[in-house]
Amino acid sequence: MASEYSFDVVSKVDIQEVNNAVQQALKEIETRFDFKGSKSNITLEDEQLVVASDSDFKLKNVVDILQSKLTKRGVPILNMEFGKIEPASGGTVRQNIKMKQGIDQENSKKMNILIRDSKIKVKSQIQGDQLRITGKSKDDLQAIMTLLRGADLPLELQFINYR
């Protein structure tokens, strides 16, 4: 029996699932009557989505369709950073949506402080864009998972390598 148990806290977006959601959203946009003849489009470039449409109203509808498809595929919406709507060529408008991968230093520090203030006997250390939590009791680790899920953080967390 191991004397130390651990898990990693990460925040990642599965690009393949995003690609699948984009394809589903494009298919729905093609078949919807209110988008007939419009120049609405969604493209995936590296780790950024570019949504374009004829008007602000149609752009917001395209983003709603995209968000519903992302949610159905289990992609965390909290990890999406929506840019402002800006005019594009041909009388269209576009919006950039950046996908945040990993936990930034500021949120890692917040999580460390939260864990330390909880008085649960675990150790946490920042390892690049993830957080490693170690402890002697599995119950303590489960309590930390519950604590982090309940915390008001601006990103979606996943718990991996639980051993």
Domain extents for the chain? 5-12+102-160, 15-99
17 or 89, which is more confident = 17
pLDDT (0 to 100) of residue 112: 87
- pLDDT for 64 equals 94
pLDDT at 160 over 90: no
In the structure, what pLDDT confidence band is assigned to residue 2 with cuts at 50, 70 and 90? Answer: low
Selection from 155, 131, 105 nearest residue 6 by Cα: 131
15-99 shares the fold of 5-12+102-160: yes
Assign a CATH topology to domain 5-12+102-160.
Alpha-Beta Plaits (3.30.70)
For residue 95, what pLDDT is reported?
Answer: 92
pLDDT in tens, 28-83: 999 988 888 888 899 998 889 999 999 889 999 999 999 999 999 998 888 889 99
Bridge-partner residues for 131, per DSSP? 9, 126
* Mean of all residue pLDDT scores within the chain: 88
Instruction: Using alpha carbons only, give the angle 67, 130, 81 rounded to the nearest 5 degrees.
Output: 25
Contacts of 115 (CB under 8 A, 6+ apart): 122, 124, 133, 144, 147, 148
| 119 pLDDT above the threshold of 90 | no
CA atoms within 13 A on the CB side of 20: 11
What fold is seen in the domain 15-99?
A: Alpha-Beta Plaits (3.30.70)
Between CA 114 and CA 148 the distance in angstroms is 8
Residue 1 has pLDDT above 60, yes or no: no
